[in-house]
Amino acid sequence: MPEAVARAAEFLRSGALVGFPTETVYGLGADATNERAVAAIFAAKGRPHFNPLIVHIPVEEAEAFAEFDARARRIAAQFWPGPLTLVLPRRAGAGLSLLASAGLDTVALRAPAHPVAQKLMCATGRPIAAPSANRSGRVSPTEAAHVAAELGDAIALILDAGRAPVGLESTVLDLTGEVPALLRPGGITLEQLQASLGAIAIGKVAAGPARSPGMLASHYAPSLPLRLNVTEAHPEEALLAFGPNIPAGFAEVLWLSHSADLAEAAANLFAMLRRLDRPEFSGIAVMPIPNHGLGRAINDRLHRAAAPRP
């Protein structure tokens, strides 16, 4: 692995794109200080240019790229490295690609905990802009093979470290306003953030859709239609089951978690959506998932995966 990481770092420094594991999902990385490399991410994903990217940095370098107040420092100390992205005022002159922020005067920063991501950042010596390594709007990759299947042609190298342990994207927390705002539920739960911050605004985004375009209605979508909160079987559908008791009569069943464990369900969600996304089924049915803790992020992804396509 050390050799592969060194090669990946070299590719990044030369402006190429690299697929790499993080604890949340696999990322499509580019040197965040190289405008052309960042543009290549948008092209490879077919991502709308108004949707800004998360910039990945080692914890100790974060303050070079954004302005941290006491509150941001406290949250970073508590949850970094980890699956939490902070939206903060951009620091002028830090050399970050403007495209990475989609022209906003804020930047989304995250310090990942995955050891391979950390080694890659260290070997590259640059901040790494990285969205999930999937075509825009589709299911996020939790294994290297998912990345190769969808974006292999656009990527110089993919670092394979097995399954992404969390399996859902990071929580995005906007700390640019007086009241912290949850822009996307994810790997750090709302309950964890509330315990530390008190009141948090949910889904109340001040300046319209460009503020956090990842909140677009349709996202994370498989090809098949999704039916949510399912309690009755359709014989042509495949079922994503949760908990020990399931309605009988589906064409196929995969268990997000037999023991109703939300962390296990989160880790399985995207890979199982991919496995069931086959034309022999008429759709994918999903049993109800409790809406607390990681369940909130799971339900967020499911609702967008089920939303009408543009």
Per CB under 6 A, the list member of 82, 187, 214, 222 interacting with ligand AMP is: 214
CB of 47 to ligand AMP, least distance (A): 8
Q: Does residue 171 bind Mg ion (CB under 5 A)?
A: no
Tokens in use for 65? 């790229």
Q: Does residue 183 bind ligand AMP (CB under 6 A)?
A: yes
Q: Does residue 97 bind Mg ion (CB under 5 A)?
A: no
With CB under 5 to 8 Å by kind, the binding choice for 184 among Mg ion, ligand AMP, none is ligand AMP
Q: Does residue 268 bind ligand AMP (CB under 6 A)?
A: no
Q: Which residues have a Cβ under 8 Å from the Cβ of 116 and sit 6 or more positions away? A: 1, 5, 20, 21, 159, 161
Listed ranges 148-156, 212-220, 236-244, 261-269: which one lies at the site for ligand AMP (CB under 6 A): 212-220
Q: Does residue 132 bind Mg ion (CB under 5 A)?
A: yes
Nearer to Mg ion, 116 or 172 (CB): 172
Q: Which residue is nearest to ligand AMP, using beta carbons?
A: 214
CB of 119 to ligand AMP, least distance (A): 21
Q: Which residues have a Cβ under 8 Å from the Cβ of 136 and sit 6 or more positions away? A: 45, 46, 47, 48, 51
Q: Strand pairing partners for 90?
A: 66
Nearer to Mg ion, 34 or 132 (CB): 132
Residues 181-240 that bind Mg ion (CB under 5 A): none
With CB under 5 to 8 Å by kind, the binding choice for 87 among ligand AMP, Mg ion, none is ligand AMP
Nearer to ligand AMP, 118 or 176 (CB): 176
Picking from 288, 301, 78, 266, the residue whose alpha carbon sits closest to that of residue 187 is 266
Q: Are 160 and 153 in contact (CB under 8 A)?
A: no
Residues 110-139 that bind ligand AMP (CB under 6 A): 131-132
Nearer to ligand AMP, 85 or 299 (CB): 85
Q: Where do the H-state alpha helices sit in the chain?
A: 2-13, 35-45, 70-79, 115-124, 144-151, 190-197, 262-276, 294-306
CB of 6 to ligand AMP, least distance (A): 25
CA distance 130 to 217: 21
Nearer to ligand AMP, 158 or 241 (CB): 158
Rounded to the nearest 10°, the torsion over CA 259, 264, 270, 275 is -50
Question: Helix crossing, 262-276 with 294-306: angle to 10°?
Answer: 20
Backbone dihedral region of 247: left (phi > 0), alpha (psi from -120 to 50 degrees) or beta? beta
Question: What's 55's DSSP letter?
Answer: E
CB of 222 to Mg ion, least distance (A): 14
How far does Cα 152 stand from its chain's mean position?
19
Query: Which stretch of DSSP H or E encloses residue 183?
Result: strand 181-184
Binding site for Mg ion (CB under 5 A): 131-132
Binding site for ligand AMP (CB under 6 A): 51-54, 85, 87, 101, 104, 106-108, 131-132, 169, 172, 183-184, 211-214
